[in-house]
Chain A
Amino acid sequence: MSAGSSRTGRSLILLAPLLIFLIGFFVWPLFSMMSQAVSDPAVLRLLPRSAQVLPDWDRKSPPTMPMQAALMEDLKAVDDDQALGDMVRRLNSARSGFRTLMSKTTSALNDVENPPADLVSIDKRWERPEFWLAIADALSPLTDRNLLAAVDLGRNAAGDIEHLPADQSVNRVILVRTFWIAALVTFFCACIGFPYAIIAASLDGWKRDLMLGAVLLPLWTSLLVRTAAWFILLQEQGLINDLLRAIGLINAPLPLIFNRTGVIIAMTHVLLPFMVLPIYSVLITIPKNLMPAAASLGAPPWRAFLRVLLPLSLRGVASGSLLVFISAIGYYITPALIGGPGDQMISSIIAFYATGSANWGMAGALGVVLLVATLLLYSVYARLSSDEPGRR
């Protein structure tokens, strides 16, 4: 017993460093990205005094004197015009009329000669609870605004969820495009990878080694090098256009780069090994005499394929497709280098929000969408491949 427990202790000591490392530098970053998506402390930072008083309010009756005094103090203390503008914009979207009310209020508060006694004396609207309700809601450091905006939804004045106007609806287009490109790449990979794996599994000796080596070499080669290779091949004066012109198939160069065609070609090339290998690993576990057996029982080749080989290898096709699809939806480098502006996928938009415009809320929210989609698909993949008998 003591030997067993000391062995357990040793194992835990061995596991602890990596566990702590990954919790600190993998789980925590993902968590802080998610919290960026739902946190919005901007208003809270501007109105600290109101934040202390407002929770005591019953949210129905007209504002009390301490509430008005606190908000007046807060507004007088604001020295960041940019932040004030952001706050007013946010309050105005929750309750229209805030923009005029705020500008009237701040200019009255700046009047040093006859300072206003309270907010209601500046504008009658400050008596109405709706405006205070908007402030109270904006003070919450949690928001679903970014998450809703990531799928082109927003809240209207009444607080109900609704579609954003068409001119603000860019994210859904990109999400649909991301899944569409990933689906196309998966489809092409399956069309090429499935027959390729069948042929490779039916061969042996150097022919099989050659076919597998052709898959493994690109897999081991740097992704960047493969993308650079396609960049060089696909360009207007690239090898492919030169070749097609030399054969006489085309007169003018085909546009192959900075468009969808180029992205699909390059991504299919990059992800094809992930389709071939899982299918191959399933196929080699299928007994070789099944197809001849089907043939000897009178099945024509296509029938034997449909009834015997296809059902048996379907799990390999499914896990290969999932693997390709999961990798494809997170792709950044290939679309960024080979694609045009109309081929950018969700990762590019996340990178744009994060590094280009420092909008961490939106970057985090779109990151959550991508992360959730990836993990859901991965759990399906893990279940699919865990009960594969021949796989280790």
Chain B
Amino acid sequence: MPMKLAKVTFATLTILFLVAPLIAILPLAFTSSVILTYPIPSWSLRWFEELFTADAWRRAIINSLIIGTGTTLLATVLGTAASLGLRNRLIFFRGSMRTLFLLPMVVPAVVLGVGMQVLLAGFGLTNSYAGVIIAHTVVAVPFVIVSVTGALAGIDERVELAAQSLGAAPITVFRRVTLPLAMPGVLSGAVLAFATSLDEVVLTLFVAGPNQRTLARQMFSSIRENISPAIAAAAFLFIAATVLIGLVVVLSRSMLAKRR
């Protein structure tokens, strides 16, 4: 049937378009050549070595870990607390607050970057880790909110009421019932927050100084200025981390689904 053939061809080509670019750059991470082209003359780990020993790249990796950890902690705490607060349907402006919490996802990064640089300069926070962590937290919080409110919505409120009626104090209900049930959502929110920080370039361009260059920022400028297979090696690490992160999110989602 020609219709079916057309469908299969179209689907295959589109899958190829979506996935092939990501797969095509993976082998280049292991090239021994200094230029990023096929065919690969011989295999080597020299670009991973470069990544972990060259000063600029090593610093960038360390900075990404510092800033990513700070962002994850701050965004997860703020976002989880706010998601718990949003559960109360009696709160005034509940809808507007939710919109405000999600809006950083929508506002173009460059616009936020300009404002952030003006503001942080006023506080003397440009070129500081604190400034970069704050900026990354603003854009990471929506992911925590989406993920945690989703998990909280799946909790049967009767379970909490049962604990309460059995004499548990609100804090005990939270610690022993609500938090464990929401944990998969909190964890996947934290992972998404870390991933957001890891990938953030534009805000970093505006607020970070030369000492806070992150891995993404370093990749951006080396694609721009002197492209080398170190990019492919960094991309390899990113994709490997993505697959790992994806597994964590999928696992925690399926844990959540089982609980329901």
Q: Which residues of A does B touch, CB under 8 Å?
A: 4, 7-8, 10-15, 17-19, 21-22, 25-33, 36, 192, 195-196, 199-200, 210-211, 214-218, 220-233, 235, 237-239, 242, 269, 272-273, 301, 326, 329-330, 332-333, 336-337, 347, 350-351, 354-355, 360, 363-364, 367, 370-371, 374-375, 378, 382, 392
Determine the main DSSP class of A at the interface with B.
helix
A13 closest partner in B (C-beta): B85
**Do B220 and A199 touch (CB < 8 A)?**
no
**Closest approach, in angstroms, between the C-beta of A389 and any C-beta of chain B?**
16
8 contacts between A and B (CB under 8 A): A29-B112, A33-B118, A221-B238, A224-B216, A229-B235, A269-B17, A360-B118, A367-B110
Cα A43 to Cα B84 with chains together (Å): 50
**Do B199 and A223 touch (CB < 8 A)?**
yes
Digit string of B8-29 for contact with A (CB within 8 Å is 1, else 0)?
A: 0011001101110110110010
Supposing A269-B21, A333-B220 touch, asked if A222 and B242 sit within 8 A by C-beta, the answer is yes
Which residues does chain B contribute within 8 Å of A363, judged by CB atoms?
Answer: 114
Supposing A30-B115, A371-B108 touch, asked if A14 and B81 sit within 8 A by C-beta, the answer is yes
Supposing A22-B141, A218-B18 touch, asked if A31 and B115 sit within 8 A by C-beta, the answer is yes
**Closest approach, in angstroms, between the C-beta of A341 and any C-beta of chain B?**
13
Cα A29 to Cα B21 with chains together (Å): 37
Which residues does chain A contribute within 8 Å of B38, judged by CB atoms?
Answer: 239, 242
Which residues does chain B contribute within 8 Å of A231, judged by CB atoms?
Answer: 223, 227
14 other contacts beyond A220-B242, A242-B38, with CB at 8 A cut-off?
A: A7-B90, A10-B88, A11-B85, A21-B141, A26-B138, A33-B115, A33-B118, A214-B18, A222-B198, A224-B201, A273-B18, A332-B109, A371-B107, A374-B111
**Do B104 and A26 touch (CB < 8 A)?**
yes
Cα A195 to Cα B86 with chains together (Å): 38
B79 closest partner in A (C-beta): A18
**Do B25 and A228 touch (CB < 8 A)?**
yes
**Do B81 and A17 touch (CB < 8 A)?**
yes
Interface residue? B246 (CB, 8 A) = yes
**Do B224 and A225 touch (CB < 8 A)?**
no
**Do A29 and B116 touch (CB < 8 A)?**
yes
**Do B28 and A232 touch (CB < 8 A)?**
yes
Interface residue? B239 (CB, 8 A) = yes
Interface residue? B202 (CB, 8 A) = yes
Interface residue? B159 (CB, 8 A) = no
Interface residue? B56 (CB, 8 A) = no
Digit string of B76-112 for contact with A (CB within 8 Å is 1, else 0)?
A: 0111011011111011000001011101101111111
**A374 is contacted by which of B11, B82, B107, B220 (Cβ under 8 Å)?**
B107
Which residues does chain A contribute within 8 Å of B216, judged by CB atoms?
Answer: 222, 224
**Do B106 and A196 touch (CB < 8 A)?**
no
Interface residue? B137 (CB, 8 A) = yes
Cα A230 to Cα B235 with chains together (Å): 12
Cα A354 to Cα B113 with chains together (Å): 9
Cα A218 to Cα B118 with chains together (Å): 34
**A364 is contacted by which of B10, B114, B150, B242 (Cβ under 8 Å)?**
B114
Which residues does chain B contribute within 8 Å of A26, judged by CB atoms?
Answer: 100, 103-104, 107, 112, 138
**Do A371 and B111 touch (CB < 8 A)?**
yes
**Do A225 and B88 touch (CB < 8 A)?**
no
Report B108-141 residues with CB < 8 Å from chain A CB: 108-119, 122, 134-135, 137-138, 141
Supposing A4-B90, A229-B24, A233-B21 touch, asked if A214 and B15 sit within 8 A by C-beta, the answer is yes
